[in-house]
Amino acid sequence: MADWQPRALIRAQLIEEGFDVVATNTWPMMRRHLRPGLKPRLAIVDLKGLPNPKDVLGDLRLLLKPHQVLVLTASGTVPVETVESAGFRRLARPFAIRDVVTKAVEAVASTKNLDR
């Protein structure tokens, strides 16, 4: 289970930037928010602490377009090449909250252009 404190701080800053945010602490909970008709413009997924990060990445490939996913990586989760070969956006640890928010803003801006 991912650490709640960084998630809460990232969530708060994203809301401050005008994003509608749903934050969960498990992949099964998040997966429920990715059903047809409810899909977000961007999903930020922190692999740190997830029990099966490769399975999560596999699910994400089926549920969202790669440019709609920002993966927060940590040493020992999955190889960088796995994330990049899937086409996902990636931010490696260590990072600051502002780095996540900046990447999210960039991703949503470029996603608008890709989805036209």
The answer to whether 45 and 70 are in contact (CB under 8 A) is yes
pLDDT at 1: 43
- Edge-to-edge strands, sheet with 89-92: 43-46, 69-73, 89-92
Q: Using CA atoms, how far apart are residues 36 and 77, in angstroms rounded to an integer?
A: 28
Q: Using CA atoms, how far apart are residues 8 and 5, in angstroms rounded to an integer?
A: 5
> Does 3.40.50.2300 match the CATH number of domain 4-13+25-111?
yes
pLDDT at 98: 95
Which element (helix H / strand E) includes 69? Answer: strand 69-73
Domain ranges for the chain, please list them. 4-13+25-111
- The whole-number mean pLDDT for each consecutive block of 10 residues of the chain, a chain of 116 residues, reads 75 93 87 81 89 92 92 88 93 94 93 64
pTM for this entry: 0.88
Q: Which residues contact 4 (CB under 8 A, 6 or more apart)?
A: 25
